[in-house]
Amino acid sequence: MAQTKQQQLDAIKQHIIDDGICNELAEQATQLVFGDGNPEAEIVLIGEAPGKNEDLQGIPFVGASGKFLNEMLGMIGTKREDVYITNIVKYRPPNNRDPLPDEKASFLPYLVEQLKVINPKVIVTLGRHSMDVLLPGLKISQAHGRPIRVKDHVYLPLFHPAAALYNGGLRQTLIDDFALIPDIIKQIKVIT
């Protein structure tokens, strides 16, 4: 019998462990933070890497940025359980340092597999780290809030909620950009 999407995602998670991806990070982390939400989601959101709370709970975006993200999901009439949330790097970098280019590159094939399984209508990159690997060459200051179709997927690059949390101007920009998501999905449904 064909595997469910959840079973396929579970297999990708196991491959990351079996393949020993970023063992140095893994040794310092509490656990792998693979992803959370609905495997049938129309929206996938991709952040940078787990922070302290995410590392402890094994779930992405459960700290302050996650609270803000949940609020923005509410503003567009959706909830966490309806979307799927993950990160480009799936172990917490020590002291929350930026993920290194080779760490992002190591996790990329697994993220691509995750996206293939879920096959969402729109892939939202949060911040420059996930944007850089999926949409190389873009500048977040220019690309944010502009949907872009690349091969099989439509992407929407957005600022990272952590960057916007304490910066009033950026916060409103992120909220305004986030509000575009329902229309983007509607338009995709019209043309497909």
Phi-psi group of 58: left, alpha or beta (phi > 0 → left; psi -120 to 50 → alpha; rest → beta) = left
> Partners of 161 in the beta sheet?
none
Does residue 114 belong to the site contacting ligand URA (CB under 6 A)?
no
Site for ligand URA (CB under 6 A): which residue of 38, 65, 106, 125?
Answer: 65
Phi-psi group of 170: left, alpha or beta (phi > 0 → left; psi -120 to 50 → alpha; rest → beta) = alpha
> Which of these ranges, 9-17, 58-66, 99-107, 145-153, lies near ligand URA under the rule CB under 6 A?
58-66
Residue nearest to ligand URA (CB): 47
> Partners of 148 in the beta sheet?
155
Starting at the edge strand found earlier in the chain, the sheet holding 84-87 runs 36-37, 84-87, 43-47, 122-126, 153-158, 148-150
CB of 191 to ligand URA, least distance (A): 31
Does residue 38 belong to the site contacting ligand URA (CB under 6 A)?
no
Site for ligand URA (CB under 6 A): which residue of 60, 93, 99, 147?
Answer: 60
Which residues 124-183 are close enough to bind ligand URA by CB under 6 A?
A: 162
Comparing CB distances to ligand URA, the nearer of 46 and 118 is 46
Comparing CB distances to ligand URA, the nearer of 38 and 87 is 87
Alpha-carbon distance of 185 to 192, in angstroms, equals 11
Q: 104 and 129 in contact (C-beta within 8 Å)?
A: yes
Interface residues with ligand URA (CB under 6 A)? Answer: 47-51, 54, 60-61, 63, 65, 87, 162
